[in-house]
Structure 1
Amino acid sequence: MLDLIENSSILIVNDIVSTLEELLPKYPLHSTRVIKNEEKDEFLIAQATLAIKEAYIATNSKKYLFLCGTTFRKEAQNSLLKVLEEPPRNIVFIIITNSKTAILPTIYSRLPYKYLKKSIIKNEIPLNISKMDLKDIYNFLKDNQKISKNEAKDIVEAILLKVNSQKIKLSQKELDFFSKSIKLLELNSRPINVLTTLLLSIANQKNKH
């Protein structure tokens, strides 16, 4: 459970939307602003300009500015540096993103950060491997499209554990899909691509049996 954050901070989270849903009810509505790109998940110079404008609107009580994005454009971050270093009175900036690498070191040097991402519990993936169809695969991939390399490796292992727990028989060639997936992730292949290939391969082989 997330506590009220009173000072400017960076939050690294699994899901930005659910984090906002948990946090926002704890803040006064009239003095809270959420600034994000409504068209895509990237925080651009337009959002940075809006954040700076909001920060310089005088306030007698604390005002909380939530800056949200899966990625933050470099020029947007650079334009925020001065206001983050010397924020106007009563202004609290809370940056919410999915990855530590999305934020420049110069921003990290100005704000403390909280790493709130939770590892996926192995064998707890919401997929019934023995009965999954293309729709199940699509929905699972959609929910996990922003995951990191390490999280993808956890998912590969969780799928293998679930295959074993559901007593699904795979040939040696099919089992090789798993070790191959881990190797591809180690080589920095895109996690979503690796998981797509793995799940489609399992579904394809399962349908042959």
Structure 2
Amino acid sequence: MNMIDKKINNSTILIVNDITQTLNELLPFYSPHNIRIIKNEEKEEFQILQANQAIKEAYIASNEDKYIFLCGSTFRKEAQNSLLKVLEEPPKNVIFIILTNSKSSILPTIYSRMPFKYLKTSSLKDEISLDISKLDLKDIYSYLKENQKISKKDAKAVIESILLKVNKQKIKLDEKQLDLFSKSSKLLELNSRPINILTTLLLSLSNTKK
């Protein structure tokens, strides 16, 4: 079932599970020549380059409403600071729609000035967004920060999701790592803190190669 069932006509922040899916649900409500989609084609992070593109696009005059979609799993602080003025006082007919996976990545100065819709569902996707084969400390930190209040139920789903990704990417786990997966589920049943268990598990996978 679609999370988006109508056109969004005002500048808004959307916190979503899947940015691409949300875009696919939104775009049919708009005329193609009235939209601009700005995202980082190389990384999932919205950086200063994308911010500069957005500012430039915003100041191109338009007689019709122009919808600028700013898309990023996370948004770099410097990029947001450079966008602050144009988001607070957008040019005539310009409407910004921010699509992101993480509420915590949006600066309070922006979050407090733009309305938002929290569309993330509590049920996790079958496949975790992390690339296990290229997992580094920055990825782990960002993921854990976003999920620091994760429930026991969702933590179990994450562990299952990680295993699915490991199998899909044909990653070979050693006995110690396999044992850790088994222990993680048992520790959750014993009411250990889910975030601590996920931290240990992800750190153990950070040096795993395909």
**Normalising by structure 2, what TM-score?**
0.69
SS in 2 for 1:177: helix
CA distance in 2 between partners of 1:6 and 1:72 (Å): 22
Number of aligned residues = 170
Name 1:46's counterpart in structure 2.
Answer: 49
Amino acid in structure 1 at the alignment position of 2:69? F
Q: Secondary structure at the match of 1:35?
A: strand
Q: What is the match of residue 163 of structure 1?
A: none
Structure-2 change in CA distance of 1:187 and 1:66 (3 Å): same
Write the distance in 1 (CA, Å) between the matches of 2:131 and 2:106. Answer: 21
Q: CA deviation at 1:9?
A: 0.4
Deviation at 1:113, TM superposition (A): 0.6
Structure 2 counterpart SS, 1:40: coil
- Residues in 1 aligned to 2:148 and 2:78: alpha-carbon distance in whole angstroms: 26
SS in structure 1 opposite 2:192?
A: helix
1:35–1:158 Cα change, 3 Å: closer
Report the AA paired with residue 187 of structure 1. N
Q: 2:35 aligns with which of 9, 20, 32?
A: 32
Aligned 8 A contact 1:149 1:188 in 2:
no
* Residue 183 (structure 1) aligned to one of 168, 186, 192: 192
Change (3 A) 1:153 1:69: farther
* d(CA) in 1 for partners of 2:201, 2:53: 32
- Conserved? CA contact 1:156–1:195, under 8 Å: no
Shift of 1:26: 1.2
Q: Taking every aligned residue pair, what percent have the same amino acid on both sides?
A: 51
d(CA) in 2 for partners of 1:30 and 1:174? 49
Rg larger in 1 or in 2?
A: 1
- Alpha-carbon RMSD across the aligned residues, in angstroms, is 3.3
CA–CA distance in structure 2, aligned partners of residues 6 and 159 of structure 1? 35
Partner Cα distance (2:201, 2:73) in 1 = 15
1:148 aligns with 2:147: yes
One-letter identity of the residue aligned with 1:178: S
Q: CA deviation at 1:153?
A: 3.8
Q: 2: CA distance between counterparts of 1:150 and 1:175?
A: 22
| Amino acid across the alignment from 1:66 | F
SS at match of 2:14: strand
**What is the distance in 2 between the residues matched to 1:87 and 1:151?**
36
**Given the alignment, which residue of 109, 112, 116 partners 2:115?**
112
Q: Which runs of 5+ in 2 are unaligned?
A: 133-142, 160-179
CA distance in structure 2 between the aligned counterparts of 1:180 and 1:71, rounded to whole angstroms:
31
